[in-house]
Amino acid sequence: MTCKEAEQMVMPYINKELTDKELSAFLSHIHICQDCYEELEIYYTIYTGLAQLEEGGEDQNLHRLLEESLRMSELQLRGRKFFNIYYVLSQVLAMAALSIIMVMEILKI
Ligand SMILES: [Zn+2]
């Protein structure tokens, strides 16, 4: 992913509009690119700060909030990936079990 692409994903990221694939690519880029991380932090601070002002919430450490948001996104992605692997594995196991049962049935005859 280029910096230009990452920049275009900053707002969709904050609005939680990225697909899993986009989110994954975006997070990887943010990890290695300080420029884009700073870009994200600026936007995040502005938008989250404004939202907090509107809600009249307490002043929070926005940098920490962003770190938490990024971590949650990663956990979410990892969780979904894990679920997919688990799902495929369970399907394969079910098919294998079915095959074994069928072979056993056939051998009995
Ligand atoms: Zn970049």
pLDDT in tens, 51-74: 777 776 566 678 888 998 999 898
Residue-wise pLDDT for 8-52, tens only, equals: 999 999 999 999 999 999 999 999 999 999 999 999 988 887 777
Residue 107 Cα to ligand 1 middle (Å): 61
Residue 76 Cα to ligand 1 middle (Å): 22
Residue 43 Cα to ligand 1 middle (Å): 15
Please, which residues have CB within 8 angstroms of residue 6's CB and are 6 or more apart in sequence? 26, 29, 30, 33, 36, 39
Model confidence at 85: pLDDT above 90? no
DSSP characters over 25-67: HHHHHHHH-HHHHHHHHHHHHHHHHHHHHHHTPPP--HHHHHH
d(CA 7, CA 41): 11
**Given this model, what pLDDT does residue 109 score?**
65
